[in-house]
Amino acid sequence: MEQMFKEETLTREHIDQAENMRKILDDKKSVSANISNLTAKRIGFPKIIYYMRHFQAQHNVDARYVNILDPDLTKYGFEQGSKIIFDDDQLELIICSPLSRTIQTYLSIFNRTGRRQRIPFKLDADLQVRNYDVR
């Protein structure tokens, strides 16, 4: 019978890798998330970055709000957030503009306290609106 596996000496590194994989699989995460994490770590996939615009805000639907620099979301904008689902286990950090509508978008998606506490959140002023209009 043909040998299917290459014989190798078991090293401390092999044992450590197996132990790390076991710990990850024993974690309370879903099996698919664990497999994805193991695959990404093993193959070295880059991190996934999601870019997201704020949900519907007052200035998107009512011309009276166009010149307001920091309008709030509309009722529909808040409802949009309840329909978005992320695999929380895959998110490592959320970076958000300090504008009200973007913070409200974040809160409408991650409205359950446990989700907000589990994922680090950071405001970044460089993500604000820039107006270069020269009319």
The CB-side HSE value for 37 (13 A sphere, CA atoms) comes to: 20
3-class SS letters over the chain: CCCCCCCCCCCHHHHHHHHHHHHHHHCCCCHHHHHHHHHHHHHCCCCCCCCCCCCCEHHHHCHHHCCCCCCCECHHHHHHHHCCCCCHHHCCCEEECCCHHHHHHHHHHCCCHHHHHHCCEEECHHHCCCCCCCC
pLDDT in tens, 43-55: 556 677 777 778 8
How many CA atoms lie less than 13 Å away from 50 in the CB half-sphere?
16
- State pLDDT tens for residues 64-103: 877 777 888 889 988 888 787 777 677 778 888 888 888 8
Quick one: 70 exposed, middle or buried, by C-beta within 10 A (0-12, 13-18, 19+)?
Answer: middle
Distance CA 73, CA 131 (A): 20
Query: What residues does each domain of the chain span?
Result: 12-43, 58-127
Cα 90 to its chain centre, rounded Å, is: 7
Q: Is the pLDDT of residue 32 over 80?
A: no
pLDDT at 82: 79
